[in-house]
Amino acid sequence: MPNYVLTVDGERREVQADADMPLLYALRGDLALKGPKFGCGLAQCGACTVILDGAAVRSCSVPVSAVAETAQIRTLDGLQGEHPVQAAFIEQEAAQCGYCTNGWVMTLVAALERNPTLSDAELRTTLSGLKCRCGTHMAILRAARQAADAMAKEV
């Protein structure tokens, strides 16, 4: 098996993997990160979301070989509880079981870092592909609005 160098949360890390192994497996298995989760394995639920070169992507569908050497990968672990989106999720009690929270947070971080002035409709569109089985969608939308407002003030 070949070795691949990944830049994860600003740190260069080496993993040994088959070329087509999903990035999610390297992040959780080899690098022991806890943020991205295995949900559906089909890039539909969002639990495995990471930020890849500024865009939210589903790491269960990205092969390790496609992101080795050049891509910048950000995970929930790398935010270290210091991002306005995380603060808003806590304040709005937007997580129930928490399994899906990684997807919502990382998707919002990527979107709001690109444009912190998203309207409510744009926030809903941004989050539309994510799933939460506990039904905390309204709290998540309140957290999204709070985070957007907080980040817009920083600009």
Question: Which residue's entry shows tokens 């050497």?
Answer: 69
80's CB contacts (< 8 A; 6+ apart) are none
The domain boundary, picked from 20, 48, 78, lies at 78
Residue 131's CATH number: 1.10.150.120
Question: pLDDT digit string (tens) for 64-118?
Answer: 999 999 999 999 999 998 999 999 999 999 999 999 999 999 999 999 999 999 9
pLDDT grade for 155, boundaries at 50, 70 and 90: confident
Residue 100 contacts residue 46 (beta carbons within 8 Å): yes
Cα(133)–Cα(74) distance, rounded to whole angstroms? 25
The pLDDT value given to residue 13: 97
**Range 115-129 average pLDDT:** 97
Quote the mean pLDDT of the chain.
96
pLDDT of 114: 98
The boundaries of the domain holding residue 47 are: 3-78
Question: What radius of gyration, in Å, describes the C-alpha atoms of the chain?
Answer: 15
